[in-house]
With several copies, the nearest count.
Chain A
Amino acid sequence: MRIRTLFFASFKDLVGTGRIDLDVPDGTTVAGLVSALRKRGGTWEKLPAEPAVAVNLEYSELSRALHHGDEVAVIPPVAGG
């Protein structure tokens, strides 16, 4: 299944892109996706192993199973206000 992942702020600077579409096996969890991203090597390895994430615009557990078309965001520490 195809999953879009978004990166913001310092994470976007780190991986050099604001988004990536990856094909991952059915049943992949958010944690599995993060692991696959980190395995791309280079600066991708510097993404945290357990970042805050959102799935389809809501904060989510890393254990959540993904479905085709889900939009995942890897959320760096926030600094609004």
Chain B
Amino acid sequence: MIFADLTRDEISPQEALARVGAPGHGAVVLFLGVVRDHNEGRGVQGLEYEAYEEMAERVLEEIAREAARRVGSDRVAVIHRVGDLAVGDVSVAVAVSTPHRGEAYEASRYVIEEIKKRLPVWKRERYADGEEGWVPGHPPGEAGAGEGGDTP
């Protein structure tokens, strides 16, 4: 089962975990992205994710299917939150299970890197000093997006 969802509700890591696993699968990897209390040296109080929702749902499912195909698994679940989030809230959960662990890590990493590269979602941070601003982000599809800079 491939599962992809964009949600305004709190993300439950348990729900993501419950959507993967199979009798022949010996490895599960769960990734959680969590809202941090700072970014680029500024105190962060919370943030808002805006999405092109219809497209983001499609892209999320595409990414999950690509990851599954890469490692030959049929158990990938990805949930991305939109709306207002507080520090400590889970912004994204990626769960994968595979027969062996190498593939589970690979698929997990693929999903989160592709999300950073091309999911049509934008992040507006509310800073401790009262200001707000859109996080610069990455031109969709550009190589090297995601792991640079100060993003989680």
Chain A residues contacting B141 (CB-CB under 8 Å) are 52, 59
In-complex Cβ contact of B49 among A54, A76, A80 (8 A): A80
Task: State whether B140 touches A81 (Cβ < 8 A).
Answer: no
Closest chain A residue to B58, Cβ basis = A57
Contact mask A52-81 → B, CB, 8 Å, 1/0?
Answer: 101001110000000000000101111111
Task: State whether B138 touches A8 (Cβ < 8 A).
Answer: no
Task: State whether B116 touches A81 (Cβ < 8 A).
Answer: yes
Task: State whether B116 touches A6 (Cβ < 8 A).
Answer: no
In-complex Cβ contact of B92 among A58, A75, A80 (8 A): A80
Q: A6-B52, A57-B54 are in contact. Are A81 and B33 (CB under 8 A)?
A: yes
In-complex Cβ contact of B116 among A8, A52, A54, A80 (8 A): A80
Chain B residues contacting A80 (CB-CB under 8 Å) are 49, 51, 56, 80, 92, 115-116, 119-123
B44 within 8 A of A: no
Q: A8-B120, A59-B140 are in contact. Are A79 and B135 (CB under 8 A)?
A: yes
Task: State whether A54 touches B134 (Cβ < 8 A).
Answer: no
Chain A residues contacting B145 (CB-CB under 8 Å) are 78
The chain B residues found within 8 Å of chain A, CB to CB, are 33, 49-52, 54-56, 58, 80, 91-92, 112, 115-124, 134-141, 145-146, 151-152
The chain A residues found within 8 Å of chain B, CB to CB, are 6, 8-10, 13, 52, 54, 57-59, 73, 75-81
